Amino acid sequence: MPPTQPPSGQPRRALLICNAKARNGRFDLEEIRTVLRAGGIEPVEPPPGDCKALITAHAGSVDLVILGGGDGTMNAAAEALVETKLPLGILPLGTANDLARSLGIPIDPVAAARLITTAEARPADLGWVNGHYYFNVASIGFSAELAGELTAESKKAWGVLGYAVAAVRVLRRVRPFTVTIEHDGQTERVTTIQASVGNGRHYGGGMTVEAEAAVDDGKLDFYSLEVAHWWRLLALLPALRRGTQGRARDVRAFKTTEIRLSTRKRRPVNTDGELTTYTPAHFKVVPKVIRIFAPGPEARPSARDSLLPL
């Protein structure tokens, strides 16, 4: 449906929240404000505060929410957006901006603001694990250890390169572990270094969970890296970037709508780059529970086109 207009032709009111700690969180918003007002949107900018609390507090007085930040900022707002049913506009100000890339939203913040004024608010799915929503991918194992290694300072200083630097450090100590997988009436026990459950397409500053995954397909994309040695990850890197790793003999991959992962030792779960819960982990897809201003599916880039450069 087209953007909803408030009564009497008045401008739509947008709660504009920018994460100052994001990599580009100090971006000058003046041009953004000009673009929004020219497109019939009046920004409402509250004092800094908790993202979820701000959305809840202003829900009755705004028509949409615009978030400036990276994937962690979007993740922090997910629950409030579900509860208030307010549509989301994205200003990509983070390091990787995986959600924006999955949706074909321009990475340039001014172009993204212009899109918000003209695009439809399209339904999108969310992943859910142990009561926590996520947009992109949730993982246990290597990616979770990587999330624990990355700091806001390193991402701000090094950008996407910060992921690679941290990954080299984590690779030295990563060890395989056993995970029990329950899905679609099946139970499997495997040894892996990473198990990932994707809702969207991109994650981790340049990785792709599955080449044809989409945030609105009503499915979760699972893969498990069941490699014997850490150096095998280096050989898999091109496939992990393209989202074709499921074709490899030592990678287990399938689509589902609900899955449970359990481990002998409690392990952290990384959701959109944040450690939010622990195994045992119950995952499911929540279809079309949120609306995001984005291009139509036909305008989204292919998996290859939306890859970040190494």
166 burial (CB, 10 Å; 0-12 / 13-18 / 19+) is: buried
Q: 141 and 200 share a domain?
A: yes
Q: 63 and 158 share a domain?
A: no
| pLDDT at residue 114, rounded to an integer | 97
The number of folded domains in the chain is 2
Q: 192 and 156 share a domain?
A: yes
Residue 298 domain-assigned?
no
Q: 244 and 183 share a domain?
A: yes
Q: Which residue has the tokens 């705004």?
A: 62
Q: 70 and 104 share a domain?
A: yes
Neighbours of 18 (CB within 10 A): 22
Q: 187 and 76 share a domain?
A: no
Instruction: Say how far apart CA 273 and CA 71 lie, in whole Å.
Output: 7
| pLDDT at residue 301, rounded to an integer | 66
Closest CA to 199 of 251, 146, 134, 141: 134
Domain residues for the domain of 177 are: 132-287
Q: How many helices (H) and strands (E) does the chain have?
A: 9, 18
| pLDDT at residue 235, rounded to an integer | 81
Q: 39 and 170 share a domain?
A: no
Closest CA to 126 of 194, 177, 56, 75: 75
Q: 161 and 202 share a domain?
A: yes
Q: 17 and 70 share a domain?
A: yes
DSSP state of 48: S
- The CATH number for 226's domain is 2.60.200.40
Residue 306 domain-assigned?
no
Last residue of a domain, one of 119, 145, 161: 119
Q: 137 and 273 share a domain?
A: yes
Chunked mean pLDDT (size 10), the chain, 310 residues: 55 92 68 96 94 96 96 94 98 89 94 97 98 95 69 48 54 81 97 94 83 94 88 80 88 97 95 92 98 87 54
Residue 172 domain-assigned?
yes
Residue 282 domain-assigned?
yes
| pLDDT at residue 157, rounded to an integer | 47
Pairing of strands 41-44, 12-18: parallel
Residues 6+ apart with CB under 8 A from 262: 179, 180, 182, 279, 280, 281
